[in-house]
Structure 1
C-alpha cells in the first residue's frame, strides 16, 4: 500500500498548493480513507473490516475486468474500474486502464488532473518531465478547462529547470505555453483571468532579473514611462486606454448572460441559457468568442449531440484551417458516437484535410462499432466511405499508391451483407445497388459484376418494381436489348404493389415498339393481353368486394336476420288518383327536428333493371321491387346557386363563400347519366348571418361565371301551386300557347294546350306528362253523359295499371 500512500500525499500537497478554483478535489474514497486511517489499528474488528473491504474490492475489480474484456464501450465500467484501481494503488493496472479508456472515450478534466498528479508523485524525476507534459497536452485537447491549463503552467514553471532559472530557452518555452493557454481560454469571462494573472506574475518575475539600465532602455523603446503613482490609466498610451475601455464595454454587455449561466442549477435550463448566450455571440460575429463559448458549453454538456452538431457546422462555415475542424469532429464522435451524421461529417473533414488512407480507414471502422438509431445512418456512412474512395481513385496519386477498385467493391459488399435484410424493398437499398452497379461498369470495367449486383438486389427485393426497372434501364443503356427482353419475360407475370403489374406490362410493349421487331412486338402483346385482362378482372372483384363490405357495414345491426323480405305492395297503383296524390304528399311531409329547423325528406327510388326478352328483373336481389331511400336536407339556412361554372367544385365554392366554418354542406347537382355538373348547387350555412353574407355576393363572378344566389324556399312551390277546384287551373303560364311558340326561333310546338271555358286539353305527340287537371287525350264536352271508355274513369283519368299489366303490354308489342 506504499503506492497508495504516495497518491494520498500527492493529493494533500496539491490541495495545499492550489489557489481558488484551481484547488484539487479528491475523490470521496480518498477522503474516507484519510478520515479513517487513524483508527485502523485500534481494534481487531477494524482489521477484519479492512479484510472484508479488500476482498469486496478485489471481487469488484475482477467483475469489471470481465465486463470490459467483453465490452470496451461501457463508459461507466471504465470510470468505476479506474476509481477502484486508484484506491488499491495498483499503478501498472491503473495506467493500462486509463490508456484503454482514452482509446474509446474522452476523460473529463478532473480525471486528467488526477492522472497527471499521480504520475508526478510516482516519478518525481527529470526524466518523467516529458511524459507528464504529454499527459497535460492530451488533457487540454479533450475539453476546455482553465484549471487543467493552470496545473500545466504551474508544473512547467516548477519542474522545468530552464524555465525556473529564466534562461532564454526556458522563457521562450514558458511564453509559448502561456500564449497557447490564452488562445484556448483567455476569453473565458468567468475563469480566464486566472491565466492572465499567472502570465503577469511570470513576467514580473522575469522583470526582477533585469538590471535597472536594461529596464530603462526597454521603457524608452515602448514610449513614455508609466506613472505608477497616478491614476489607474494615467501614463498609459492612448491605444492601451482605448483597448481597455472597449474590453470593459464588451464585458458589461455580457454580464447578464454570465449571471444567467452561473445561476442555473437545472441542466436543461442551463443548456438553454447557453444557447441564448451563443445566439448573442453569433450576432456579433467574433469567431474567437463564439468558439470559446461553444467549448465552455461542451465542457459542461459533453454528450449533447445538438450542441456538437451546431459547433461543427459553424466551424465548417467559418474556419478554413482543416486541422482545427478535424480535431473538433474527432472529439465530437468520441463524445457522441451514436450519432451517424457526426461520423459522416468527420469522414468528410478527414478527406478535406488530406488525411492518410490509414486514418480514414480507422475512423470508418470505428464508426461501425457503434449502434445508430436507424439503418439509413449505417448506409450513409458506407456511401460516404465509397464516395471518398471513388474520389481518391480518380487521382493519379492514389493509383500510384496501389489502391484499386477492389477496395470500393469490398465496402459495397459489406454494406449489402449488413443491411440487405433490414432495408429490404426500400429506395435506400435500390439507390445503393444502382450506384454500385454503375461504378462496376465505369471504374471496375466489369459488366458481369454489374449484372451480379442487380441480380443480388432482385433476389432480395424481387417484389419491388423499381428494382426490375432499374436493372432493365441499365441493360438498355448498355445496348443489351436481348437481355432486357429476357428480364421483361421474367417479371411481367409477377404481382407488384399498386398498379405496378399493369405498368410493367405496358412498359414491355412500349420497349418492343421502340427497340424490337414486329415479331417481338406481337409476341409481347400476345403475352401481356391475358395478363392485363386477369388484372382487370381481379380489380373489379376487389372493387365489388369493397362495395359489398361497405354496404354490409351500413345495415342495421338490430335487424332480425330471420325476418323474411316482404314483397313491395302495389296498393299505391290501385288507389284512386286523389288518394294516390294524398299518399305521395305524405311521403314528402316535413319534419321538425330538435332545434326547430324544418327538414324535408327527398325520395330517391332505385328501380331494378328489366330484361326486355324475359320481362324479369336482372337483379336477383331486387327482383322487380323498388327500394326507396330518403336523404334528409335542411333548407332552413340554404342558398340556391345557379349559372355555376361546370368546372367549379366544392373547394371553389367553399373558398368563394369563405372558409371560416360558416359553410356546412355543399350539394352540386349533377346529370343522372353523365354525372357532370348541371351548373346548380345548394349550400347549407350554419346560421342566418352567414346566409345573409352569401346573398350579398349575388352577381359576383366565379371562374368566369356571374353567379345567381337566392335563398332556398321549399314552400314556394306550394304557395304558388294549384288551389281550389282541381279542374280550374290558376296559372298556365308555364305552358306555351301556339302563338307564343311561333315567336321562338326555329321552334315548333310539340304539344299544345287547348283551353275552353272550363276545360283544358293537351294535344300533340308528347303527352306523357299530362297533369291531372288536364283532360285526357280525346276527351271533350261532347263526351259528357256518355259512359267512359274501358280503362278510363269519369274524371278522365286512366285506371292505373299494375306491373303485371305493363309487362303484358310490353310482351304483346
Structure 2
C-alpha cells in the first residue's frame, strides 16, 4: 500500500504544467483537488497509525507477555499493510502464545493473496500445520484440505502421489475432528467428495478399478454412519441415494433401515442412540449467550459423562473442544493433562498436550512440573529437558513454592538419571555438577523469600543428602548445612538437621561441637530448652561420662537463665495489669481523701489485709471464689483427710459456718513453672498415671484472673505423693514442671520448704507453730494497745531462700488469725464488729486506742 501511494503522488502534474493545459484538462485538475484533500486526510490517518504502532511497540518491548497488546499490534499493522512487520509481529506472538483459529485463517489468507505459486506452497502448508496444532478447529482443517486440493498440483491433477498425500491428510483430519459431534460431518463429506471426484476419472471400461473405488466410498459411508454425529439422519439419506445410483433397491426418501445390511443397521442404531444420549449436553455447551463460568461447568459435566463411558478418543476430542472455548482455564488444563497421564502416560501425544497447556497457562507451576515428568517418562533428551526447565523459570507464578517445586522436580530427574548411569566417572561427575548448580540457583533465587521455612529447609536437607551420597563429598555436604545456617541460623530445625546428619554418619565429635555452638542461642518458642535437652539426651546415648558431665554443666545455667527470663516476662505481664488496677484504685482513694483522712488513719494490718486480697485460688472448676468453696469432681473436698484429727471438729465447724476451709498440706505436691494456660484438666491428665489425686488448687490473680504458674495438688496417701514428686522436671504444655512435696513445718528449720494454704485468698499456713505464737502475741497486744502492725512486721522479717521465693507467703501466718484455744476478745466475736462503722465512730475508736 505504501508503494502504491508513492506512485500516485509522483503522477500528479506540477504548477508549470498547469498553464498550458486545455480547458478539459483544467476541469479535470479542479476535480482532482478533492483527491488532494483526501490524500491529506489519509496522511493524517497514516501519521496517527504510526504513532499508535510506535506506542504498541514500546509497550511490547517492556512487556512482551501482554496478549492483548500483541493482538492490537497485529490488527494495526494489518490495517496499514506493512507485510514484513506484520509477519514479524505474528511470529513474535506465536512464539509466546498459541494463536486462535481465526488469527491463523487471517494469516494464511494474507500469505495466500500475496503469492500462491508453487514456491509459496510449502510455507503456507507449514502455517496450516502450526495452526491445526494450536487448537481444534474444523473450519481450519476444512480450509487446509481445500487449499491442498486447489493449489497442490499433484493433488489437483489426481496423480498417484497427490492422491496418497491427500488421503493421508484426510485421515489425519478425521482423527483430529471426525468425532466432533457438532461439526465433524464436514470433514467426512469433504473426504467422500474427494473420493467421488477420483471415481469420475476412472475409465468405465476398467470395471475392476471402479468396483474397488465404489467399495472405498461405501466404507467411508459406513464409517461415518457408525459415529454419533449431529446430522446422522441426513448422512443415511445421502448414503441410500448413493447406493441407489449404484443399482441398489432402496427407499431413498425414508429414514428407515429397510434394505440395509444387518451389520450396518446395527452400527447406525447404536450411533443414533449415542447421539440421542449426548443431545442434551450438546445443547448445553452450544448456548453462547450464557456466562463463561456456566458454559465451562456444562463442559465439565459433559466430560464426566464421557469418562463414565470410557472411550479415550471421544474424551480427548471433547477436551480439545473445551480448551478451544476456554484456553486459559487452568482447572480445565490440569484435568485434561491428569486424564491423559492416566491413560496414555508415555505417548508423544501427552507431551504435545503439555506443551500446549504451558503455552496457554504459563503461570501454573504444576503444569510445568507435570511437563518435565512427562518428558522424563518419554525418555526425552537432556537438551529438551533443560530447555523446558529454563523456559519454566521465565514464567511468573503466584507463589515461590511453585518455583521451588520446579527446581526440585528438575533435581529429581537429574538424580534418577545419575543413579541409572552405567558409564564412566567423568559423565557422572558432570551430571552431578548440574545438580549442584541447580540447587545453588534455587538457593540464590529463593533464599530471600523462603528462608526460615520448612520447605526451604527440606530443599537444603535434600541437597546435603545428595552431596554425601551421590557426590561422595562429606565436606561439600557440611558446606551445604553451613550455608543454611548463615541464611536461617535462627531456625532450630536447621541445627537439628545438621546434627542428625553427623549423628547418622557416626561423626559424634562433630555433632557434639554443633551442640556446643547452638545450645546458647535464642530460638523461638521452647526451642532453646529443646536444644539443651537434646544435648543431654545425645550425651546419654553416645557420650562418655565426662561428656555428659560437661553437657550438664553447660546446660544447667542456661536452662535456669531461660526459666528466670520466662518468669520475668510473665511477672511483667501481670504487673502491667496490676498497675492499671492500682492506679484506678489510687484515684478513687484520692477523691475520697478530700472528704476524709481515713487513708492516713488506716492501720498497717488493715492495709496488708487489703493487699492480700489481690490473690485468689482457682478451684478445679476453673472459677475464682472469694470464699473457698473448691470442689473436686463437683463434690466437697475431704477436709478431715487433709487435717489433723485433733482439729477436725473445729475445722468442719468453720466450713459449715461459712469460713474458708483449712489445708495443712500433709500429703500435697507443690507445682511451679506451670504454663499459664494450664487448667485443672491438664493437671489431672498429667497426674493420671500416678492416681490418687484428691484436690487441685491453682493460684490466680484476683483482679485479672490469670494463673500465677503455681498449683497445689492434694493426694490420698504418701505413696501417690511420692510417685507424683518423681515426675519432677517432666514437661506439661511445653514447660518443665518443678514438683516438690509441700512441707510447711520445714520453715521451722529455716529451710525453703513450700508452705500450705490456710486461706485461699492469702495463702498462709495455720499449722505452723511460729504462726500460732505470733498470733497469740498479736491478740494479747491488741487488748491493751489497740491495733498493732506486729503481723505485718513478722511477715516482713521472714527469711526467704531458694529459687521459688515468690511462693513463700503461704508459710506466713494469715493476717487477722487468732488462736481458737484462747478466749476471744469481746470485740472479735461481737455482732457490733460485723456492722459497718461510720467515719466518726471509726475516728473516735482510733483516737481512743492511740491514747
Tell me which interval the TM-score lies in, with the shorter structure as reference length: 0.5 to 0.7
How far did 1:376 drift? 0.5
Q: Give the secondary-structure state (helix, strand or coil) at the position aligned to 2:334.
A: helix
Give 1:274 deviation, angstroms.
1.1
In structure 2, distance between residues paired with 1:492 and 1:563: 52
Compared CA separation, residues 176 and 398, structure 1 to 2 (3 A): farther
Q: Distance in 2 between matches of 1:365 and 1:413?
A: 15
Find the aligned partners of 1:230 and 1:342 in 2 and give their Cα distance: 55
- In 1, Cα distance between the equivalents of 2:410 and 2:307? 33
Asked whether 1:325 is paired with 2:369, we answer no
| Structure 1 residue 118, shift from structure 2 partner | 1.6
Residue of structure 2 in register with 1:112 after alignment: 104
TM-score (norm 1): 0.66
Counterpart residue number, 1:424: 451
Q: Structure 2 CA distance, aligned partners of 1:206 and 1:55?
A: 54
1:442 partnered with 2:469: yes
SS of match in other structure, 2:590: coil
Does residue 184 (structure 1) correspond to residue 176 (structure 2)? The answer is yes
Computed over aligned residues only, the root mean square deviation of the Cα atoms, in angstroms, reads: 4.0
Flag the 1:482–1:237 CA change in 2: closer, same or farther, 3 A. same
Aligned partners of 2:353 and 2:712: how far apart in 1? 67
Kindly state the Cα deviation for residue 563 of structure 1 after the two structures are TM-superposed.
3.5
Instruction: Identify the match of residue 249 of structure 1 among 260, 273, 276.
Output: 273
Q: CA deviation at 1:800?
A: 9.1
Helix, strand or coil at the partner of 2:449: coil
Cross-structure match for 1:490: 517
Partner SS, residue 519 of structure 1: helix
Per-residue CA deviation, residues 246-291 of structure 1 (Å, 9 max, x unaligned), is 1111111111111111124221221121112112212212111211
Aligned residue number for residue 335 of structure 1: 360
TM superposition shift of 1:437: 0.8
Shift, 1:46, TM fit: 2.6
1:777-788 pair list within 5 angstroms = none
- Over 3 Å counting, the alpha-carbon distance change for 1:286 and 1:448 in structure 2 is same
Query: Equivalent of 1:227, from 245, 248, 268?
Result: 248
Q: CA deviation at 1:294?
A: 1.0
Equivalent in 514, 525, 528 of residue 541 of structure 2:
514
Gap runs ≥5 in structure 1 = 6-38, 567-615, 634-639, 652-667, 680-775, 778-788, 803-813
Note the residue ranges of structure 2 that are not aligned, 5 or more in a row.
6-30, 220-242, 594-603, 618-622, 627-632, 638-678, 683-692, 699-710, 717-819, 836-851
Number of positions where the alignment pairs a residue of Structure 1 with one of Structure 2: 591
2:458 aligns to what SS in structure 1? helix
Task: Return 358-367 or 72-81, whichever deviates more.
Answer: 72-81
**1:39-188 equivalence runs, <5 A:** 42-188=34-180
Contact 1:3 1:89 (8 Å CA) reproduced: no
Deviations 1:587-611 (A, max 9, x none): xxxxxxxxxxxxxxxxxxxxxxxxx
Partner of 2:655: none
Alpha-carbon distance between aligned partners in 1 of 2:831 and 2:110, rounded to the nearest angstrom: 121
Where 2:251 maps in the other structure, the secondary structure is: coil
Give the secondary-structure state (helix, strand or coil) at the position aligned to 2:158: coil
In 1: Cα distance, 2:301 partner to 2:391 partner: 34
Q: Does 1:269 align with 2:269?
A: no
Residues 1:526 and 1:168: Cα distance change in structure 2 (over 3 Å): same
Corresponding residue SS for 1:396: coil
Query: 1 CA distance for matches of 2:609 and 2:195?
Result: 108
- Using the TM superposition, give the Cα deviation of residue 508 of structure 1 relative to its aligned residue in structure 2, in angstroms: 1.2
Q: Output one character per residue of 1:391-434: Cα deviation in whole Å (capped at 9) or x when no partner.
A: 11222367686742111111100000000110010011101111
Aligned residue in 1 for 2:388: 363
SS in structure 1 of the partner of residue 521 of structure 2: coil
Q: 1:556 to 1:152 in 2, by over 3 A?
A: farther
Q: Which has the higher contact order (CA 8 A, sep 6+)?
A: 2
Q: Distance in 1 between matches of 2:353 and 2:298?
A: 23
Does structure 1 conserve the Cα–Cα contact (< 8 Å) formed by 2:363 and 2:396? yes
Decide whether aligned partners of structure 1 residues 349 and 217 sit closer, same or farther in structure 2, where only a CA change above 3 A counts: closer
Q: CA deviation at 1:623?
A: 4.9
User: Are the equivalent residues in 1 in contact too, given 2:199–2:213 (CA < 8 A)?
Assistant: no
Name the CA distance, whole Å, in 2 between partners of 1:491 and 1:618. 52
Name the SS of the counterpart of 1:560 in structure 2.
helix
Shift of 1:150: 0.4
Answer with 68-77 or 277-286: which moved more: 68-77
Change in 2 beyond 3 A, CA 1:72/1:620: farther
- Taking the aligned partners of 1:154 and 1:40, their CA distance within structure 2 comes to 45
Contact in 1 for aligned 2:136/2:177 (Cα 8 Å): yes
Q: 2:555 aligns to what SS in structure 1?
A: helix
State the alpha-carbon separation in 1 of the partners of residues 582 and 178 from structure 2.
80
Larger helix percent: 2
1:238 has 2:262 as partner: yes
